[in-house]
Structures are given as C-alpha cells and as structure tokens.
Amino acid sequence: MQPAKASTPPEHVPGAKAPYVPPFLAKAGIQAGEWMHTSKFTVRSFMRPDYTLDVRILGCLMNQCHGYSGDLGVLMKRGKLNSDPAIKVPLSPDAIRTTLNKAATDAYDESGTPKEARRPPVLRQNIRRTLAQMEDDGLIDRMRANGELLKLVNLSLGEALAKGLVTPVRDLAQAARKKLNRQLVIYLLAKPRAAKAYNAALVIKGDYLADGKTQSIQLVFDFFPELKAAPEEAAALAANPEARRIFATYEQECSEAKEHARQKAFRALRRLRKPAKAPVSDQQVELFAPDFHAELCRRFQRAGKPVPTKRQAAELASLLHGREAEFLQSLTLEKLRRVQHPGVLPSLADEFLATPAPALPAPRPVLEACPRCANSGLVGVEWDKLPEAVRAVEAGARYCDCNEGSLTHDLVEPERLRRAAGVGRAS
C-alpha cells in the first residue's frame, strides 16, 4: 500500500508557498503583500453611531463591497419565491441609509442607551452629500448604470467602463445628475485616488461632528458670540450631550431650511443655556435706562400697535446682550405691521439673535434727535398715535427731510388715502 501523496496547500491559505491575491483585488492592481485578512465584525464596528457619517459609510461599503469579493457595493435580495435562491443586487444610497440606521439601533440596544440620548437617524440628503464628498476624497466612484443593473454584479469597475455599462457621475451634466433615479451604483476603490483638497480646518461632514468638542465650541460661538468672553461657560455648553444632539439635528435640517433650522436650534440652545431664567426684578426695572424703552414705544406707536411696558422692554434688553441699537434697526415697518402685541418681543429677539449680524455701518445712537422734528417725522408736531399724525398732515403739517420723516410719510400717506376713499377710517 503506497502512502498518500501530500496535498498541495491551496493558494488562499495563509502560509501557502504561492503568493495569492484575491481576483477582485488583482484586477485593481493589488499585489501580494498589499492586502490583509480581517473579519466582517471588525469592519461592521465602523458603522456604529459614534463615528462620523463618512467613516460609517466607508465601513458599510467595505462590508458590502469587499465582503462580497468585489468593488461594487451589493446586497443579497430574496427571490420572488421562497424556493428561489438569493441574488446580488447593486447597493443604493437608500439601502446604505437603512443599513446604517439598523446598525445604530442594534448598537444602542446592545449598550442599553436610552432613547433620549440617541442620535437622530441618518437622512437621505446627508447620505448623498457625504457620498459626493467621499468621491472628492478619492475613496469611491459613483457611476450611472447605462443598462440593466444585474449585468454589473460580477464585473469590476474597469470591466464595466470598458464595456460602456457605466458612466462616471462626475462627467455628467448637473441636469443629468438629478435624473439618476435608481441607476446610481457605488464602487469602493481598492487603491484610493488623491483627494481634491485637504482642509486643515475642522469640517462637519454628513450629519455628525468631525471633531465633537472643538467643533461644538465653534458652533457655540457662532450662536452666542458674547460667550467668547466667557470661555468656561462656552466649554460647558459645548460639552453638554443635549447641545451635541441639537447641533446634530441642526446640521441635518440645514439642507432643507437653513434659517428655520438655525432659529429652532438657537431657541433650544438658549433654553439649555439658561433653563430657569429668573424674571427681571422690580429694582432692575427701575434702574433700566429709559432710552431704549422710549424708542421702542415710538416705533410701535407709528405702526399703530400697543406699546410695550417698561418691564417688557427691560426683559427684552436682558436678552439682547448689548445689541439693542441693532435690534431697533431690524424692527422695520413691514415687520411691525405683522406684530399683534408686545408679548411677541422675546420671539422677535430670538429671530434677531439667530440670524448672523450683517456688516452694517455703525448704528445711529438712539438718543440722537432731529433738531427740526425731534424724531417725530413732522416739523413742529408731536404725535403718539397714527390718527393724530394723519390729522396733523391734513391740517397742513409738513414732513421732515430726515429719515424719520420718510418713515412717517410711508406710514401716514396710505392711511390718508384710505380716509379719502372712506375705507378703514382711523379711529
């Protein structure tokens, strides 16, 4: 009986004599010694919700591309019948979003994280934006399939390009990019290209913070510039987990309605910063400078609205942090016409503070009075209510040449026309 011949070890076994490179990596130019073994559990750990969105997507693509011995992102789909075998289909951006949200839910459930401490789910627009950034970084290639998607499953990127089955998205016109529908496929490059540019500054990618602590402080300064003089309070707010959640939600909603998202985040952060703000005391009201209150009342009177009390003006000034003059400039006649009562002043302050201050010339001091009209807009006439100004103009009063005169003209003349037509007479 002859001894059995020793079998030659397969090439894919570590330690085999002949160097082995997986075929899909060999097609990409990877040689022996330029690849490694790892487990899918290690790769899937990058999809946890505590990583930035680009890292999570990269972990998903490594699992769905290289995990299936290819550079095309695929997933297994059941057949129409239970007896039919599962087939590979290209991975879509929406499938990436579903995979990441499921991985986040599983990670939270496994660690016992309460629902109120969890990050919000990933949105579709954030997936698209991050995929575009990853392509600029040279990690992936987005392609438009020119035919049936299933023809791409067993082909490498080079083979698909050679056969004309795909077209790079970066070569398409902007109008064509909006018509991709379900024809977008994603390839993970075994040899990443050089990035278009590297930013030394921290960048928010997707919906989560690239550097949580530092970027949070930058956002705190963006919402509350006055905290630059109080770094300890800014650092405490930036480290607050609830503030981090607010920043993450703000980044998600910015792509749809930036101004609304900013105002919403500002209100939430202000409540978080001062959750139990004490009301203005009677002593603070008495010590409050009357100039701001007088100018505020004058603007409300000219719009035909009830004037705010001194306490309301003092509480408003405590919210503005020294920006009273800029706030008064933002109270245009059109805005005041939409105001029903002075009780909405805190909301107007929120809207004003949430909007970044434009580069404006130095505001005119509140106490600066025109020598001809004393800021009434009518030469030699003082008036408190709109009907008084209308009657004064009908009696022969002249508008002043100053800015207040122009504002009074724009307010009084429409009312005069309505009185002349017998519609909406002033009381």
Convert the pLDDT of each residue in 258-270 to its tens digit.
666 777 777 777 7
Indicate left, alpha or beta for 424 from its phi (over 0: left) and psi (-120 to 50: alpha). Answer: left
What is the pLDDT at residue 209? 38
> How far apart, in whole angstroms, are the C-alpha atoms of residue 130 and residue 97?
11
pLDDT score of 21 more than 80: yes
Residue 378 phi/psi, 5-degree rounding, is: -120, 130
How far is 9 from 263, CA to CA, in rounded Å?
A: 66
- Please tell me the pTM assigned to this model: 0.49
* Count, residues in the chain: 427
Mean pLDDT of 1-24: 59
Task: Map residue 143 onto helix, strand or coil.
Answer: strand
pLDDT at 177: 84
Provide the residue type at 326 as one letter: E
Question: Half-sphere exposure of residue 180, counting CA atoms within 13 Å on the CB side?
Answer: 23
Q: CB count, 10 Å around CB of 151?
A: 14
**pLDDT tens-digit readout, 328-340:** 888 887 788 777 7
Long-range contacts from 42-45, C-beta under 8 angstroms, 24+ separation: 43/67, 44/103
pLDDT of res. 64: 93
SS3 of residue 87 by DSSP: strand
pLDDT at 363 over 70: no
User: Which tokens sit at 263?
Assistant: 């105002």
Stronger pLDDT, 3 or 389, i.e. the higher one: 389
Which residue is listed with tokens 């005069």?
416
- Give the separation between CA 43 and CA 141, rounded to whole angstroms: 20
Burial class (CB in 10 A: 0-12, 13-18, 19+), 360: exposed
Which pair of tokens denotes residue 185?
């496929």
Q: Give me the helices (H) in 185-256, please.
A: 212-223, 231-239, 241-254
Contact of 227 with 221, CB cutoff 8 Å: yes
Nearest 10 degrees: Cα torsion 207, 210, 213, 214? -120
Helix (H, G, I), strand (E, B) or coil at 75: strand
- What is the rounded distance in angstroms from the CA atom of residue 424 to the CA atom of residue 409? 18
Domain range annotation of the chain = 39-188, 212-273, 282-354, 368-427
As a whole number of angstroms, the distance between CA 409 and CA 421 comes to 18
Helix, strand, coil shares, percent, the chain, to 5: 50, 5, 40
The token pair at 101 is 């949200």
Q: Over the stretch 70-107, which tens digit does the pLDDT of each residue have?
A: 999 999 888 777 777 888 899 999 999 999 999 999 99
Identify which has the larger pLDDT, 21 or 315.
21
H-type helices in 178-240, by residue range? 212-223, 231-239
- Name 140's bridge partners: 188
Report the pLDDT value the prediction gives residue 282, as an integer from 0 to 100: 62
> Are β-strands 140-145 and 184-188 bridged in parallel, bridged antiparallel, or unpaired?
antiparallel
Q: What does the block give as tokens for 266? A: 């500002």
The closest alpha carbon to 158, from 173, 176, 143, belongs to 143
